[in-house]
Amino acid sequence: MSNMEAGEFFSKLKAHLRAQPSKSFEAPSLKLREAAVLAPLFWRGGEPWAWLTRRPLTLKSHPGQISFPGGGRESRDLTPLHTALRETEEELGIAPSSVDVLGMLGELPTVTSYWVTPFVGVVPADYPLSPSPMEIDAVLEAPLWRLRREVRTLFHAERPAYVWGDGREVVWGATFRMLEQLKLHVDAVSGGR
């Protein structure tokens, strides 16, 4: 797979996302607030990466957690995609016109009463990010081919998680479920790399 070029990989990923859509989780009977996120992907060193964000510990909602950029749908957002692109621009400074949207992953509920629609898009690797200090503590770069699935004890329970590198960054919960869907698509077009 190291011989695959960025254009070829992302073209195959786009086709796979459309041909084999991720199954949405069952919608609970509760009324959930709509939200959307973007999994911003880029290519560096012959492999695909994703930008994730770590939220500041000072936030009331999800302090310190790692997530994709996104948030709740506002009345000005025409569609969930508008929400994902607006939130990505607010959080990381990525202009919507710089995102090549490849498709979407399966929608899912969160324990915090949101119904999330995740999108996948490609951004140039050298894009000059400008993270919002109010919403972002750190921007993390996750190598999609080198993510490791582990079980970690989080909030007094064993939970599936993704880690990479030295394992200090831990993705779990709703973002884990989104990343797991994305990983299935990435692995399918990578020939099980």
> Containing domain of residue 19, as a range?
6-189
Tell me which residue of 139, 149, 146 sits closest to 176, measured CA to CA: 149
**Residues 127-175: tens digit of each pLDDT:** 999 999 988 999 999 999 999 999 988 778 899 999 999 999 999 999 9
Structure-token pair, residue 33? 């607030």
**Residues 159-172: tens digit of each pLDDT:** 999 999 999 999 99
User: CA 36, CA 68: separation in Å to the nearest integer?
Assistant: 10
With 60 as the cut, is the pLDDT of residue 2 above it?
Answer: no
- Count the domains in the chain: 1
Q: Does 124 reside within a domain?
A: yes
pLDDT for position 187? 95
The mean-pLDDT minimum among 72-81, 97-106, 155-164 falls in 155-164
Q: Maximum Cα–Cα distance for the chain, whole Å?
A: 47
Q: Is 62 left (phi over 0), alpha (psi -120 to 50) or beta?
A: left
pTM of the model: 0.92
What's 86's domain CATH number? 3.90.79.10
User: CA 66, CA 126: separation in Å to the nearest integer?
Assistant: 22
Average pLDDT taken over every residue of the chain: 91
Q: Does 1 reside within a domain?
A: no
Residues 164 and 143 sit within 8 Å (Cβ to Cβ): yes
Q: Does 151 reside within a domain?
A: yes
| Section 47-55 average pLDDT | 95
pLDDT for position 15? 96
Tell me which residue of 32, 140, 37, 147 sits closest to 83, measured CA to CA: 37
